[in-house]
Structure 1
């Protein structure tokens, strides 16, 4: 089946190249030898925290464990190179200032494509759009709204680079977004930049540093924010959602509970989830983060209990980006609880609502890979998903 080495295979190769036995690597990474053996043999998925712990021990990037990036189409690689060039020229846009109404429509389109996980279409739009919003902002004599548009478009670019496993490009984009947000005098724009900055630490497995970014952003925002408005709830609540992920992957149950409690409190102000400046927040999205945190903290039964109602009645106000991630997390929950048919069904839903995300998401690949190892090869839908993710030809 394999067209690329499995993460477990990569771990075994790197471990042997460094002269480490399984017992020593397991001890250094804080896991059991039997768990490491199952990872290397492909019968347990390599989760983000596990990949981060092993990568740190082996002194390699997390992406080296997963074998990313999974570029696939040459068209995709070409589009990423164009985006990289546009980001590099962040103070030297080649584009002219367009009509404001046309520009606003294109910015809205980019944010919609991001929410719908249509990354290839987004990549086609971004290089030109980045140049146009930047040219507009540079000619606006510091007008805050123009710079907010720049920040929003960089947020879309970050989503594409992150999801396509371009960690160096994602880091560069975030630095540009922070720069743009600082020109806005808009605290909400700075929150979005901090959200993505913490995301770069999350991708690198540096969860403690990511939490520090979140905590600093919360403190700064609380110092300048006004009354208890929905906008304030969205900004602070979104930061706490990022904190839930980072703390749970850091295996800090107290910090996870604290961020979850605060996120729920802010979500009471927003009963129907809203999407603004590329941040989604409300009670439904908060529930998805809680489900994922249970998995990271080793509580799959509790996660499965939450997953049932979510699957029976999928959140109606969430975008494909969030729904796709929900189904991926549910597939992981069901795999852990040995509901293999249910895991496959959840993956099918992920491909249905967010196909471009599902094709490149590392946990989709891991769940599909483990299902194959567990002798599910005869299932045609599983074979189809394996082909879409590049696991079979």
Structure 2
């Protein structure tokens, strides 16, 4: 049974509906749920089933966990998708027939899935990504010569979105295979910016293996191979690699290299001028500032004050991707816990959940901080216990 009362669920649905300027009648039509049921749910008179809740969330274009914190449907959907993803890429180098979608339909589906990735809506991605990935692979093999490079760029994008689902849910072997596919596609796109993006994503394999020194070397080689930062997109691609290198250097306890890469990223962020999404990666002054916190946390507990100073009197803007905002608050919570600020740490975890519930729930540091807070700090014990149950920390 959910720890959220029907009244709480109803209030959240009503708030999301009003934010989208839907009437109850419009929500009922969009979700294929009866008007009487929508009214009863919003009043708290009915508890929605998983199927009804997911239909309403899809109609409102929000993560189901925003409506009910302990919803488990997303995890089931993701774990059902992982074997299908593995099957889809088993013979990616083989021509197995034409795609079922037109190039226009494939582009639309991949663009939508990328937006869900940036919003950390992994359950929605999982429902469509095996089919999209299969069609993107087939399109690379079937595309006429004039379309081949665009087809390869599309495959690199959808492989990255699939990887986000695998990596965030601990399927690191599958994640590594998807990254290999992304790099294969980048080579066929013959586009240095796509190669730079693939190198940025490849850093996940080094994080997963804790091979931080090797990862730093690989990313530094990618920086050397990246195109000159002559334009905004080129500067953003290089700046994102410097952010990755800074965090890898921090985890390798190489503070000098971390600071050097942060300085380069900061300079490129100023050159780009405004925060944006470039080739599927958020970059700009705000992303660099978030990585200042990430680097300090990566260096360890003795650098907690540095992380707190970087986050002082500042918070991520609402236009940043949800996953990046959530990551900022999770890392900040870790620093606050180290600094002996349990109330602030718990508040940061709740901010992370508000920004991106699925990302927060799957992040190992969320569980680490929640478990530590529950063990050593007794303030707000009931709320903390509910949160710890939600993330699987107890």
Same fold (TM over 0.5): yes
Aligned to 1:188: 193
Over 3 Å counting, the alpha-carbon distance change for 1:227 and 1:163 in structure 2 is: closer
Determine the C-alpha separation between the residues in 2 that align with 1:106 and 1:371.
Answer: 41
Q: Match for residue 116 of structure 1?
A: 119
For residues 372 and 226 of structure 1, the distance between their equivalents in structure 2, rounded to whole angstroms, comes to 49
Q: TM-score under structure 2 normalisation?
A: 0.77
1:390, CA displacement in angstroms? 1.7
Q: Tell me if the contact between 2:296 and 2:307 (Cα under 8 Å) persists in the aligned partners.
A: yes
> Is this contact kept in 1: 2:77–2:126, CA < 8 A?
no
- The answer (yes or no) to whether the contact 1:113–1:122 under 8 Å persists in 2 is yes
* Structure 1 stretches of at least 4 aligned residues deviating more than 6 Å after TM superposition: none
Any gaps of 5 or more consecutive residues in structure 2?
A: 1-71
Listed as ranges, the matches of 1:187-336 within 5 Å are: 187-221=192-226, 225=227, 228-297=230-299, 298-311=302-315, 314-336=316-338
Cα deviations by residue, 1:159-187 (Å, 9 ceiling, x for unpaired): 11111111111111111111010000111
Q: How many Å apart are 1:379 and its aligned residue? A: 2.2
Q: Which moved more, 1:298-307 or 1:337-346?
A: 298-307
Tell me by how many angstroms 1:257 deviates. Answer: 1.2
Question: What is the TM-score with the length of structure 1 in the denominator?
Answer: 0.77
CA distance in 2, matches of 1:165, 1:109: 24
- Give the drift of 1:322: 0.4
**3-state secondary structure, aligned to 1:309:** coil
Contact 1:95 1:135 survives alignment (8 Å): yes
Deviations 1:47-71 (A, max 9, x none): xxxxxxxxxxxxxxxxxxxxxxx99
Please identify, of 380-389 and 333-342, the stretch whose mean Cα deviation from structure 2 is larger: 380-389
Q: How far apart, CA to CA, are the structure 2 residues paired with 1:151 and 1:75?
A: 23
Higher relative contact order (CA 8 A, sep 6+): 1
1:1-393 alignment to 2 at 5 Å?
73-92=75-94, 96-142=99-145, 143-221=148-226, 225=227, 228-297=230-299, 298-311=302-315, 314-376=316-378, 379-392=381-394
Decide whether aligned partners of structure 1 residues 385 and 109 sit closer, same or farther in structure 2, where only a CA change above 3 A counts: same
Task: Give the distance between the partners of 1:201 and 1:275, measured in 2 at CA.
Answer: 24
Task: Sort the Cα spacing of 1:121 and 1:355 in 2 relative to 1 into closer, same or farther, 3 A.
Answer: same
Question: 1:271 & 1:226 partners in 2: Cα distance?
Answer: 17
Q: Cα offset for 1:333?
A: 1.4
Mapped partners of 2:287, 2:170: distance in 1: 23
- Per the alignment, residue 35 of structure 1 pairs with none
Cα pair 1:331 1:342 within 8 Å, conserved: yes
Checking the alignment, whether the CA contact within 8 Å between 2:114 and 2:280 is kept in structure 1 is yes
